[in-house]
Structure 1
């Protein structure tokens, strides 16, 4: 881990931003909902984008843009995962990649398995691809969450043709274990199904829980799987529109190669430029510093909840900067974020949007300064009975 401290930008600077996080609510509301962070960009990214602007480099994104090699090096350094750059293809964002892969691997009307509580756009993207959502909720073990492999097996046996996996999982922050991923791959192979793995939060996996990419879980996973990821969550680049689709077998690589050229043309040039700067090695120290700051924040959040909201149920995420918190004990309704935004002036993500399993929950973004996090939880705590 880097010893270089990474501090969030001051609030007066953040409120000059024009992104969704800072334009959705009035200025008296602390926005801890959407997955944007409050830190300055990695210096290598700032330099690359500044140079591009200075020379007017704002044209079309070339096919050979450096992303494949940069991502392959990044995967090897962070995860010990050997990726063939020839099997990396860019697109505009992760959900765009998911939709196109579903269109290529399913037929209209097919069922696609999701594992709620899960990122709300999963359902929307499955429907955009012409498929139906088949939910197999995560299993709450009392200590964490895990895939319901028997339930997924039954859904595929009943005709579902794909599993849309979130690894690490949003909103729980679960880094799925290699044995579970390997077992999932065997189930998919047995039923002739595919697994499409959204791995956008992988660069923010913490050291105390080693992260396993789905395609690296086993030879079978490599044969049935597709991964889609981006620098956008870890490096706060969502608005620049760039993601990569990765395969690890010739048959799946052929599917990606056969996607329409427009899938690749949708990649933003600034997204590709910043993605190379993020993945290429020059931003590794910055990423280490970010993880160190987020590690402190996820622990601080636990302390704050114990002090301010002792009936809240919170398990530290194993990856990312999103906390999944059960506030049902406080009787604030199925969607506690509504009252919290109205009365505490803190905007959190609405738990029920992640599925029926999110009733009574909120998702909190702790990718901010510790004092902002403290202020937010203190405000919410003031709503709780004495």
Structure 2
């Protein structure tokens, strides 16, 4: 690195250190267990109810409903499994295309493939880091046509069945114009809300606008059940089918094993739900601390040239799951130097995910112009975001 680059990198590290505590190593995001986790998990062990049936599963689902405002929640073994079921419930079939952002975690695209459908990659906007509904609308005007009331990609001849907005790093996608687009093109909206528990769009919790949505409670999420996820829906009938499908589609009987659908072993174990109940009790405090950390970062970086701290769009209240620095375009070439130097200094940072269309398994999938996603890929850096850092 030349002198100017070293000075730039040094200023970033100094700014991070001014916000973060003095520790040998600071992870990107780690869980906090400061509530009744031990008590609830021990209760599971003492009672023997540790598998996919138990009081904590029911309690966890009800707590999710109470917190998000969703009428129904179905706990699942992880967020990927939850999203897979969401797509099946949305009617995604083999040979369909599903619109997903190119800038997302790979599970969003993989679950489409699990349905034997084809991911169709769309661009994002810098304002939200998520799917750009206005650019997508212009694109669909060019490439879509209706056949018997179904939207088709006239370039491939395949139905376009659904769209999956992913609320990147907890920041809500602009859902109003996207919902209008879905109505215009007869698309089902499936929200990938894996990262946005605790985030609001115009006062409404994310994951409650689409037909179905998925949440994740992986170890690095705002709350954790170890592994775990959930399906949210406003429909009683869909929730009933979701619970049935995630339990191997077994029909109720005292001893016989009869199944009426292809089902999945996707239910959350009771012991994981016990951990989740204790975590959900602390969620408001976690969100408060994470938003406080974001404010500290925003103030610290406001006068640092060449880089800016990403803040929530004006229509949203974000959980700031992962905090984001965005390099100015002229400093994009220094991204890898900055990643290496911060990690060497004991401050874990990471880049944006490799864009989906750049992965070998998805290289030949249909896609629109992805210039914004490609630009952000070279400039986005995640910085430590654990709730305890915002105390």
| TM-score of the aligned structures, taking structure 1 as reference length | 0.67
Structure 2 CA distance, aligned partners of 1:253 and 1:342? 43
Distance 2:326 2:294 in 1: 15
Residue 272 in 1 paired to residue 280 in 2?
no
Q: 1:237 aligns with which of 214, 224, 229?
A: 224
Aligned-pair CA distance for 1:319: 2.3
Q: Give the deviation of 1:340 after TM superposition.
A: 3.5
1:297 aligned to 293, 300, 309, which one?
Answer: 293
Q: Deviations over 1:22-61 (max 9, x none)?
A: xxxxxx65332xxx4353x2413332113334x2636422
Structure 1 residue 83, shift from structure 2 partner: 0.4
Of the candidates 43, 46, 65, which is equivalent to residue 75 of structure 1? 65
Q: Equivalents in 1 of 2:341, 2:202: separation in Å?
A: 32
| Residue of structure 2 in register with 1:52 after alignment | 44
- In structure 2, C-alpha distance between the alignment counterparts of 1:330 and 1:344, rounded to whole Å: 20
Q: CA deviation at 1:338?
A: 4.4
Q: CA deviation at 1:275?
A: 2.8
Q: Which residue among 186, 210, 220 is the counterpart of 2:203?
A: 210
Q: 1:89 aligns with which of 71, 74, 80?
A: 74
Give the superposition deviation at 1:244. Answer: 2.1
**What's the CA shift for 1:209?**
6.0
The equivalent of 1:340 in structure 2 is 341
Deviation of 1:301 after TM superposition, in Å, equals 1.1
1:58–1:261 distance in 2 versus 1, CA, 3 Å: closer
- For structure 2, the residue ranges without an aligned partner over 5 or more in a row are 1-20, 145-150, 154-158, 249-263, 313-317, 357-373
- Do the aligned residues in 2 keep the contact of 1:29 with 1:341 (CA within 8 Å)? no
Which of 107, 110, 127 is the matching residue for 2:93?
107
- Cα distance, 1:331 vs. partner? 4.4
- Encode CA deviations 1:298-322: one digit per residue, 9 max, x unaligned: 0111223235x42113222422331
Secondary structure at 2:231 match in 1: strand
Partner in structure 2 of residue 136 of structure 1:
122
CA offset at residue 138 of structure 1? 1.9
Residue 351 (structure 2) pairs with residue 363 (structure 1): no
Task: Tell me how far apart the structure 1 counterparts of residues 133 and 266 of structure 2 sit (CA, whole Å).
Answer: 37
Change (3 A) 1:83 1:339: same
Secondary structure in structure 2 of the residue aligned to 1:346:
coil
Match of 2:325 in 1: 325
SS at match of 2:98: strand
Report if aligned partners of 1:91, 1:244 keep a CA contact under 8 Å in 2. Answer: yes
Post-superposition CA distance 1:123-181 (Å, at most 9, x none): 2333344332212222235x876632451571654232222222xx123x322355235
Instruction: Evaluate the alpha carbon distance shift between residue 214 and residue 295 of structure 1 in structure 2; reply closer, same or farther with a 3 A threshold.
Output: closer
SS in 1 for 2:205: coil
Unaligned runs of 5+ in 1: 1-9, 13-27, 373-386
CA distance in 1, matches of 2:348, 2:310: 20
TM-score normalised by length of structure 2: 0.67
1:175–1:319 CA contact under 8 A, matched in 2? no
CA contact (8 A) 2:57 2:270 kept: no
Report the alpha carbon displacement of residue 272 of structure 1 after superposing the two structures with TM.
1.8
Kindly indicate which of the two structures has a greater share of residues assigned to helix.
1
Equivalent pairs, count: 315
Q: Please give the per-residue CA displacement for 1:195-225, whole angstroms capped at 9, x wherever unaligned.
A: 222223444337x96343443x4xxx4xxx1
Displacement after TM superposition at 1:329 (Å): 3.5
Q: SS of 1:347's equivalent?
A: coil
Specify the alignment match of 1:23 in structure 2: none
2:35–2:279 contact (8 Å) kept in structure 1: no
Give the secondary structure class of the aligned counterpart of 2:275.
helix
Change (3 A) 1:31 1:75: same
- Deviation, 1:73, is 4.6
Query: In the alignment, which residue of structure 1 is the partner of 2:18?
Result: none
Q: 1:65 aligns with which of 36, 55, 67?
A: 55
Shift in Å at residue 228 of structure 1?
1.7
